[in-house]
Structure 1
Amino acid sequence: MNPRAALLSLGAAALVVPLLLGDAPPTGKPKVIRNDLCIVAPATPYDPASGLPMIAPRPIPAGARCPVCGMYPARHPHWSAQVIFRDGAVHYFDSPIDLFVFLQRVDHYDRRYTRGDVIARYVRDVESGQWIDAPAAFFVQGSEARGPMRTADLPAFASRDAAAAFARRHGGAVVAAAQITPAVLQGLYRGAPHQH
């Protein structure tokens, strides 16, 4: 193909592709292109061969991605969290704050599920690294500790005493899971969650 024909083909494609994608033809005014498409990996299915009960917390696979921020939770084991659905599938999170953001709008991040499908929520005790039931955990809000996204987060603890000791060393206030409201999350969450 000669260079002139190649340019004409490219010009035609520039006009036809937007029409096929439902965009209007160029009007001389630059179009704002939004880069808000994000494809979240589906929840990791339950593997009965693992020997773990379906409702038990699971080890985080190295390739698992947080459905809220896209980070790799296995890289931040003491901050990680997970949610298990009725069918045994699990989503992993790089921090407690992303778990709570996810729980506010489950079907926004994964259209296959709703909040009613969630049967278990776990966070890691920041000090011991053990999985703990998120609704029974205590968190420190407003401490100097920074989570995996290098912003304010919610370090989790199995006991109020451990959370209070952490707060004395690093600042902040101890809160129970039930106190983590959308307003609290809005004040803490400085990440750039994917737009779904």
Structure 2
Amino acid sequence: MCSHSFRPNRRRLLAYLPVAALFAGLGFRPVRADAPTIDLPPPGPRDVCPVCGMFVAQYPEWVATILWDDGEAVHFDGAKDFFKYLDNLTKYAPGRDVGQIAGMGVTEYYGLTLIDAQAAEYVIGSDVYGPMGHELVPLATALDATDFLKDHTGKARVTFAQVTREMLTDLDAGTFE
């Protein structure tokens, strides 16, 4: 029989905490395959949102980007203005059409990484505000969107294809379905 007993000390306890957290499911969440990160150029210090005119680089946690097939990158200070731009290309990008888009990304709320805008999930009506007020908050997974919806009193979870002009107008007015 062993003559000494196991006595945990602070150092040993602290050494085991990260492992325990991973086993408890508190570790980092992986980005799902259908919301891949996307490599698009970052905004420069003088890049302005074509919808609202704000300097985009001042809000790195909200950046959205469209890369055109000719290499031009257009940056936005949030997903809401990104969608407004896409909804009215004749106003914001005369002579261009969606077929010329080479890539679209939005900054994912939890990981702060740029993910494919079409694969992201979005939450509207939450208590989290972007630079332009009420925002479509991009999330990488359905689980993240569901958790965010509950944690931040969101009103609805939507996909890229479900975003409408009326939804964007309602976000500006602070009203939600």
TM-score calculated relative to the size of structure 1:
0.65
After the TM superposition, which residues 77-92 of structure 1 pair with which residues of structure 2 at under 5 Å, given as runs? 77-92=60-75
Per-residue deviation at 1:86? 1.3
Matching residue within 144, 147, 150 for 2:130: 147
Task: Give aligned-pair identity as a percent.
Answer: 35
Q: Secondary structure at the match of 1:189?
A: helix
* Residue 185 in structure 1 maps to residue 175 in structure 2: no
SS of aligned partner of 2:104: strand
Q: 2:39 aligns with which of 38, 56, 66?
A: 56
Alignment length, in residue pairs? 136
C-alpha separation in 2, matches of 1:71 and 1:114: 24
Q: TM-score, normalised by structure 2?
A: 0.72
Q: Determine if the alignment matches structure 1 residue 114 to structure 2 residue 92.
A: no
Q: Once the 2 structures are TM-superposed, how far is the Cα of residue 145 of structure 1 from its aligned partner?
A: 1.0
Structure 2: where are the runs of 5+ without partners?
1-37
Structure ID, larger Rg: 1
Aligned with residue 76 of structure 1, among 39, 53, 59: 59
Q: 2:151 aligns with which of 169, 174, 178?
A: 169
Q: Deviations over 1:64-122 (max 9, x none)?
A: 00000001111111111000111111100000000000001113112242233222110
Q: Structure 2 CA distance, aligned partners of 1:93 and 1:189?
A: 16
Which residue is 2:85 aligned to? 102
- The structure with the greater share of residues assigned to strand is 2
Deviations 1:162-182, CA, capped at 9 Å, x for gaps: 111111111112211111111
Cross-structure match for 1:20? none
Q: Structure 1 175/56 Cα, relative in aligned 2: closer, same or farther at 3 Å?
A: same
